[in-house]
Amino acid sequence: MLADLARQLEKLDADGLTRRPPTLQAPCGPVATIDGRTLISFASNDYLGLANDPAVIDAAIDGARHWGVGAGASALVSGHFAPHAELERRLAEFVGYPRALFFSTGYLANIGIVPTLVGRGDAVFADRLNHASLIDAVQLSRADSHRYPHGDLAALERLLVSRPARRRLILTDAVFSMDGDVAPLPELLDLAERYDAWLVIDDAHGFGVLGHQGRGSLDHCCLKKSPRIVYMGTLGKAAGVSGAFVAAEATVIDWLLQRARSHIFTTASPPLLANALLAALDLIAEGESRRMHLAGLRAQLRSGLADTRWRLLPSPTAIQPVLVGDNHEVVAVAAALAERGLWVPAIRPPTVPAGQARLRVSLSAAHATAHVSQLVDALRALD
């Protein structure tokens, strides 16, 4: 058995797919220290620069002093504390839904939502580029799975017409994590209403960044509130801390509370993190200057590479993928950037489709224009 694993590892290495996580020796921020080397980091999803914000840190410290460092048990046994309840109330109010439920991670939220809403005899219609947690959620649900080409509304409608089921669910990222584009949410809601389906939206990369006051992709797309929508936002990216939440109608949240296994059967997140998240939520609401700076960095990067061979995918978000194609080449380019003091992750299959390996440039409001200038200059030198 060990020999078989060793052969499979050798195959991954030969295909340029071996992954080795670096060990960071400095806090999350625009500058990272790895093996004693200082690198400008374009690898983090800390879009607003809140992971190391003093106000959020102070709130975490206050939370630890008051509530300790552990929750003790699952939320339904003895792990639901006052900061958790207040965070759920504030999050629901912020995104405009009656109720919200806090999860320890976005992955746990997604694998809780889908199997709780659909099961055997039901059907899920999922965008082909959905995050892995959504793919796993469908498999766990045991519902019939139907994947449509990325953003192809006509193909989705044909599937909805031809695949009747007891209950149906349309499943999509709001901002796609490796392409940075935004799903056609109004059109997806129209299809959900016409074909009597749930619309589950994973806004991991839109919450805090898009929409008025960072209220997320629903606000960005001017999407009307609908009882069909189940909205998931993560709190370890733009919010800078950890966790996730689901917002929906009260009946949906009550049902998730009773049946979502990834909420029921896991130890609750420490209340100190909820305390920190309450501070982060205030900073998100007040963070228009951060979002404007982030938009300026995005424009700077795109204009700086406009006349080069580097193909930037059409993304209006903080995620700016540079398509390279070949697995070995993208690793070599990432290594060349590291030699120039820049950390830009090389993303390869199965995270992205075969032949679409890329550099994933992740911008943060904590970056200075000089950081982006250094990246542009390095890529132009490698052109």
Which residues are part of the catalytic machinery?
177, 205, 237
Any binding-site annotation on 234? yes
DSSP assignment string, 316-366: -SSEEEEEEE-HHHHHHHHHHHHHTTEE--EE-TTSS-TT-EEEEEE--TT
CA 347, chain centre distance (Å): 15
CB-based contacts of 3, cutoff 8 Å, min separation 6:
none
Phi/psi of residue 307, nearest 5 degrees: -105, 30
Give 339: exposed, middle or buried? Use CB within 10 Å, 0-12, 13-18, 19+.
exposed
Any binding-site annotation on 251? no
Any binding-site annotation on 371? no
For residues 112 and 263, is the Cβ–Cβ distance under 8 A? yes
Any binding-site annotation on 106? yes
Give 97: exposed, middle or buried? Use CB within 10 Å, 0-12, 13-18, 19+.
buried
Q: Crossing angle of helices 369-381/288-304, nearest 10°? A: 20
Which residues is 200 bridged to in the sheet? Answer: 171, 230
- Strands 99-103, 244-248: pairing kind: antiparallel
CB-based contacts of 275, cutoff 8 Å, min separation 6:
59, 60, 62, 63, 66, 67, 83
Any binding-site annotation on 317? no
CA 133, chain centre distance (Å): 10
For residues 66 and 75, is the Cβ–Cβ distance under 8 A? no
Alpha carbon distance 256, 101 (integer Å): 8
Any binding-site annotation on 18? no
Any binding-site annotation on 351? yes
- Strands 357-362, 319-325: pairing kind: antiparallel
Any binding-site annotation on 259? no
Phi/psi of residue 206, nearest 5 degrees: -110, -30
Q: How many CB atoms lie within 10 A of CB 17?
A: 17
What residues are designated binding site?
19, 106-107, 131, 177, 205, 234, 351
Q: Which residues are annotated as a binding site for substrate?
A: 19, 131, 351
